[in-house]
Amino acid sequence: MNDTDIKYLEHKSLKDVPGFKSAIQLKIRNDKPVFIGLRDDALSVFTDEGKQYFYDLEGQPWRLSTLNYTLQRGVSHYGLRLRKRPKERGGGYDRERLNDDELADFCKELWQVGGDMLDAIERTPREKIKFTKPDYDTAILQIKPIVERIAGYSPDRIERERERFASVYQPVPVLPPDHYRAFVLQATEGCSFDTCAFCSLYKGIPFRVRSVDEFDEHIKRAIEFHGEALRQRSTIFLGQANAISIPQHRLVALMKRIPEHVVLPPDEERPVKPKWTRGKRLHFSGIGAFIDGFTGLKKTADDYRELWNLGLDRVYLGVESGSEEILEWIQKPAQPDQMLDTIERLKEAGVATDIIMLLGVGGKTYEKAHIEMSLDFINRSALTKGDRVYLSEVVEYSDAPYYQRMEHDRIERLSEDEMKKQLDVFKDAIKKRRLQPVPYRIDPFVY
């Protein structure tokens, strides 16, 4: 066998990379060497061609990375292509949704690699396997069952998993970036008001709150659906939209069911470090949820403290703009002072609070007012160090009223350069306030 180690980041041997609890290097079909590394939460496969394949511990295809792009599949069976964006364009990634054929090709390639790995593990003599960690017997014992699962994810099996997801979940159209890998539990369906002109994420989904028994069954089925893949997920997100709008007595009854199925940290240990959840199937560091500014006022600081005691540790408030005029124009049913009051109550209760501001909302007509009033809102808010301000470019859905209003009022959109300048203005001001500015692109997104 070729004695050359497959490299990580072009200079380090993979056998020297920490994090793999088991690893082997061997040759698969066409005499191609691969390095297979098992972590506490995923299995990674590296080739000498620079391709990297990633699978969850259920064996489902998750990600394929190359030097130029990354393909990613969610458990909802939607896929993304990510390409790095140059710094002069703001950095980050350009994201586009994979079409059905591209997603099918992606899944088929990762499935075939799984079959090749299983065949190689079964046929390769012990002495022909170049590297094993911690030893041959342990590595094969831990890695082979995962590879067998991977080899079982044929195109037909993938389709069945898509159907299983739809039987457990309503769509998951958006999550905050720090909850992209969350374990989603849907206490509600739809959005409680669904009037925002710019949003069509919950159109056609009537709002309702699950009963306690229905939510309990949903938790059980969601745990069963994710299986061993839950080891990748360290937080819980309470959906579908603004679940915190549920009346307090009903929300408390629902949230009390969660720790009957999973493990949340004791109050005295919060916030916990990542190692508290890493690789553990049913350990979660806390619960996050969206909240809105006007129903948020129906809860007192004591109410929020009660929710914190049940595991709620961070909420996400869509402020969108600090301008009252803009909020009215986009049909956001909340006023700046209401949202400031909600933030103050949350902070008094010890709940970490992040807010979301839209970039480019209202185009050039409202640009000056949007920047001035939004920064004034941030400066007057009770947000403290560690809280984040997410900066999300407004997305114009053709079936949402925002697009029609922009066209009807003949409002000129910001150019790409103007959008970047607005982003930089927000980022500089937010940093001076000792808060964390975070670019946030909601579309496309896959769970």
- Which pLDDT score, from 0 to 100, does residue 278 have? 92
- Which pLDDT score, from 0 to 100, does residue 4 have? 58
- The domain segmentation of the chain, as residue ranges, is 7-161, 169-439
- Which pLDDT score, from 0 to 100, does residue 1 have? 38
- Which pLDDT score, from 0 to 100, does residue 16 have? 65
Task: Read off the pTM.
Answer: 0.93
Q: CATH class for domain 169-439?
A: alpha beta
SS3 for the chain, per residue?
CCCCCCEECCCEEHHHCCCCCEEEEEEEHHHEEEEEEECCCEEEEEECCCCEEEEECCCCEEEEECCCCEEEECCCCCEEEEEECCHHHCCCEEEEECCHHHHHHHHHHHHHHHHHHHHHHHHCCHHHCCEEECCHHHHHHHHHHHHHHHHCCCHHHHHHHHHHHHHHCCCCCCCCHHHCCCEEEECEECCCCCCCCCCCCCCCCCCEECCHHHHHHHHHHHHHHHHHHHHHCCCEEEECCCHHHCCHHHHHHHHCCHHHCCECCCHHHCCCCHHHCCCCCCECCCEEEEECCCHHHHCCHHHHHHHHHCCEEEEEEEEECCCHHHHHHCCCCCCHHHHHHHHHHHHHCCCEEEEEEEECCCHHHHHHHHHHHHHHHHHHCCCCCCCEEEEEECCCCCCCHHHHHHHHCCCCCCCHHHHHHHHHHHHHHHHHCCCEEEECCCCCCCC
pLDDT digits (tens, 9 = 90+) for 357-377: 999 999 999 999 999 999 999
- Which pLDDT score, from 0 to 100, does residue 5 have? 66
- Which pLDDT score, from 0 to 100, does residue 124 have? 94
- Which pLDDT score, from 0 to 100, does residue 444 have? 77
- Which pLDDT score, from 0 to 100, does residue 203 have? 80
- Which pLDDT score, from 0 to 100, does residue 11 have? 56
Q: pLDDT (tens digit, 0 to 9) for every residue of the chain, 447 residues total?
A: 344 566 654 555 666 667 899 999 999 988 889 999 999 999 999 998 889 999 999 999 999 999 889 999 999 999 999 998 777 766 667 889 999 999 999 999 999 999 999 999 999 999 888 888 899 999 999 999 999 999 999 999 999 999 999 999 999 989 999 999 999 999 999 887 777 778 777 887 888 999 999 999 999 999 999 999 999 999 999 998 889 999 999 999 999 999 999 999 999 999 999 999 999 999 999 999 999 888 888 999 999 999 999 999 999 999 999 999 999 998 888 899 999 999 999 999 999 999 999 999 999 999 999 999 999 999 999 999 989 999 999 888 777 788 888 888 898 999 989 999 999 999 999 999 999 999 888 877 899
pLDDT digits (tens, 9 = 90+) for 391-441: 999 888 777 788 888 888 898 999 989 999 999 999 999 999 999 999 888
